[in-house]
A and B are shown apart, each in its own frame.
Chain A
Amino acid sequence: EDQVTQSPEALRLQEGESSSLNCSYTVSGLRGLFWYRQDPGKGPEFLFTLYSAGEEKEKERLKATLTKKESFLHITAPKPEDSATYLCAVQVNQAGTALIFGKGTTLSVSS
């Protein structure tokens, strides 16, 4: 069974304290791995898509990396506005199929 596991479940950081979120996956055939940000009461907001091991993508203070078994979302010098739930999802087998989501990591950044 295809599975996505995110850790930690919750993370509290001080402003400027860098850290990483983990997304490990066990799937039959990975087509793409997606990272989303979700604020309370809102839909997921797209951050990155990674397609192959070794790929990296950056956006402001965020950097996503991918290996054959897991992905990391690195947050450098976070600010309070980075507080949100970060969701990892995988697309398997064929294009156009639904994403399979992990449970998310809730990040709280205090000033």
Chain B
Amino acid sequence: GAVVSQHPSWVICKSGTSVKIECRSLDFQATTMFWYRQFPKQSLMLMATSNEGSKATYEQGVEKDKFLINHASLTLSTLTVTSAHPEDSSFYICSASEGGSYGYTFGSGTRLTVV
């Protein structure tokens, strides 16, 4: 089945630094990728949608200058958290879709802790 690889699984960074999270579709071409954030005991909240070669579409309230999304190829999307602060600590999950009636495959998530 479809597999999405997300790295790193967890990362600890100092306040003010930037962190990059990678999301790769291993056996299919992802026309669309989605980035979610999940707080403890909460559901997945959509942050942004990205299509290969296009600028990402951010949800209301998500700072595009803080959460930089790049979808340079059909198999790779990256999320960079710039100038991270403790309130950015969360569980970030990517999802990829081949489009049409195909399903959505999720990565294993990245636990970000900003100290």
Contact = CB atoms under 8 A, between A and B. Distances in A.
Contacts of B95: 98-99
Contacts of B106: 36, 43-46
Q: Is the interface of B mostly helix, strand, loop or mixed?
A: strand
Interface in B1-34: 4, 6, 31-32, 34
B103 interface: yes
A95 B101 contact: yes
Contact of A42 (B43, B44, B97, B108): B108
Interface residues of B, number: 26
A44 B32 CA distance: 17
Contact of B44 (A49, A96, A101): A101
A71 B4 CA distance: 27
Contact of B42 (A43, A98, A103): A103
Nearest to B110: A43
A96 B97 contact: yes
Q: Which one of B34, B44, B49, B106 has the greatest number of beta carbons of chain A within 10 Å?
A: B44
Residues of A in contact with B, size category: 20 to 34
Interface in A56-103: 87, 95-103
B103 A46 contact: yes
A46 B105 CA distance: 7
B79 interface: no
